[in-house]
A and B are shown apart, each in its own frame.
Chain A
Amino acid sequence: MSDPRPHLRRRLAALTAAGLLLTGVACTSTATDSGSVRVGLLVSLSGTYATVGVDMQRGFRLYLDTHDGKLGGRKVDLVVADEGDGPATAVPAAQKLLERDQVVALTGLVGGATVDKVQTLTTQRKVPLLGANARPAFAPVGGKPRDLAYTWHTSYNSDEPGIAIAEYVRAQVGDGQVYAIGPDYQGGYDELRGFTDTFTRLGGKLANPDGRTLFTPFPATENFLPYLNKAAETKPKAVYTFYAGAAAVAFVKQYAQSDLADVPLYAAGFLTEGSVLTAQGSAATGIRNVLNYSPTLANQANQDFVAAWSAAGHSGQPTTFAMASYDAAAVLDRALTAVNGEVSGEKLNAAIGQVGRVVSPRGDWQFDPTEHRPVQRWYLREVRNDGPVLSNVLVQDLTTLPAS
Chain B
Amino acid sequence: MRVDAYLIPAVDGVAYGLLLAIAAAGLTVAFGAGGVLNLAHGTLIAAGGYVAAATSSGTWPSLAAAVALAAGVGAAGGGVLAAATAALQGRGHLDQALLTFGVALVGADLLTAAYGSDTLRPRLPEVLEATVRIAGHRYPVDRLAVLGVAVAVVAAGYVVLHRTRAGRLIRATVDDRAMVAGIGVNPRLVDAAVLVAAGALAGLAGALTTPILGVGPHTADTALLLSLIIVVCGGLGSVPGALTAALAVGVVQTVGVTSFPALAPYLLIGAMAVVLLARRTSLPTGASA
**Interface residues in chain A, defined as those with a beta carbon under 8 Å from any beta carbon in chain B:** 46-48, 50-51, 184, 214, 216-217, 219-223, 225-227, 229-230, 233, 245-246, 249-250, 253-254, 257-259, 261, 275-276, 279, 281-283
List chain B residues, Cβ under 8 A from A279: 118-121, 214
Known interface pairs A51-B116, A261-B131; A221-B257 also in contact (CB < 8 Å): yes
10 pairs, A vs B, C-beta closer than 8 Å:
A48-B117, A50-B117, A184-B265, A223-B254, A226-B12, A229-B12, A246-B119, A257-B131, A259-B138, A279-B120
The residue in B9, B112, B123, B138 that gathers the most chain A C-beta atoms within 10 A of its C-beta is B138
**Interface size range on B against A:** 35 or more
A184 contacts across to B, CB distance below 8 A: 265
* In contact, B12 and A219 (Cβ under 8 angstroms): no
Pair B216/A246 contact, Cβ less than 8 Å: yes
Q: Enumerate the 6 nearest inter-chain pairs by beta-carbon distance, A residue then B residue, closest first.
A: A257-B140, A246-B119, A50-B117, A226-B254, A230-B258, A275-B118
Q: Contacts A216-B264, A225-B12, A227-B257 given; 7 further ones with Cβ under 8 A?
A: A219-B218, A227-B258, A229-B258, A257-B140, A259-B138, A261-B138, A276-B119
Least Cβ–Cβ distance between B267 and chain A, in angstroms: 9
Interface centre among B120, B121, B131, B216 (most CB of A within 10 A): B121
Do residues A246 and B261 form an inter-chain contact, with CB atoms below 8 A?
A: no
Q: Which of A223, A227, A258 has the most CB of B within 10 A?
A: A223
Residue with the greatest number of chain A CB neighbours at <10 A, chosen from B117, B129, B137, B255: B117
* Residues of B close to A47: CB separation below 8 A: 117, 217
Q: Could you say which of B8, B119, B261 has the most chain A C-beta atoms within 10 Å of its C-beta?
A: B119
The reply on B5 being an interface residue by CB < 8 A is yes
Shortest distance from the beta carbon of B217 to any chain A beta carbon, whole Å = 7
Chain A residues in 8 Å Cβ range of B140: 225, 254, 257
* Chain A residues, CB < 8 A from B265: 184, 217, 220
| Bound CA–CA A282/B213 (angstroms) | 16
Taking a contact as CB atoms under 8 Å apart, the answer to whether A222 and B214 are in contact is yes
When distances are taken between beta carbons in the complex, the residues of chain B under 8 Å from A258 are: 138
Q: State in angstroms the CA–CA spacing of A219 and B112 once bound together.
A: 18
Pairwise interchain contact A48-B9, C-beta atoms closer than 8 A: no
| B253: interface (CB < 8 Å) | yes
A233/B255 in contact, CB under 8 A:
no
A270 to B49, CA, bound (A): 24
A226 contacts B258, C-beta separation under 8 Å: yes
Does A51 contact B16, Cβ atoms closer than 8 Å? no
Instruction: With both chains docked as a complex, state the minimum distance between the C-beta of A254 and any C-beta of chain B, in angstroms.
Output: 7
Q: Residue-by-residue, is B1-31 near A (CB-CB < 8 Å gives 1, otherwise 0)? A: 0000100110010001000000000000000
B89 within 8 A of A: no
How near does chain A come to B212, taking the closest CB pair, in angstroms?
Answer: 8
Instruction: Assess A226 versus B255: contact at CB under 8 Å? Given A246-B218, A253-B121, A254-B140.
Output: yes
* Residue B59 lies at the interface, judged by CB distance under 8 Å to chain A: no
A172–B221 CA distance with the chains assembled, in angstroms: 41
In Å, the complex CA distance between A51 and B117 comes to: 6
Asked if B164 CB lies within 8 Å of chain A CBs, one says no
Complex interface: chain A residues within 8 A of B186 (CB): none
Q: Enumerate chain B residues within 8 angstroms of A276, measured Cβ to Cβ.
A: 118-119
Taking a contact as CB atoms under 8 Å apart, the answer to whether A229 and B8 are in contact is yes
| B103-119 vs A, Cβ < 8 Å mask (1 yes, 0 no) | 00000000010001111
Report the minimum CB–CB distance from B134 to chain A (whole Å): 11
Bound CA–CA A225/B213 (angstroms): 11
Are A222 and B222 CB-contacts (below 8 A) given A233-B5, A258-B138? yes
| Residues of chain A contacted by B142 (CB below 8 angstroms) | 257
Contacts of A227 in B (CB 8 A): 257-258
A246 touches B214 (CB 8 A): yes
Q: Are A245 and B119 in contact (CB under 8 A)?
A: yes
Q: How far is the CA of A229 from the CA of B13 in the complex (A)?
A: 13
Which A-chain residue is minimally distant from B267 (CB atoms)? A217
A217 touching B264 in the complex, CB below 8 Å, given contacts A245-B119, A276-B119, A279-B119: yes
Interface positions, chain B 93-150, Cβ under 8 Å from A, are 112, 116-121, 123, 129, 131, 137-140, 142
Q: Which of B232-256 contact A (CB under 8 A)?
A: 253-255
Most chain B CB within a 10 A radius of its CB, from A245, A276, A282: A245
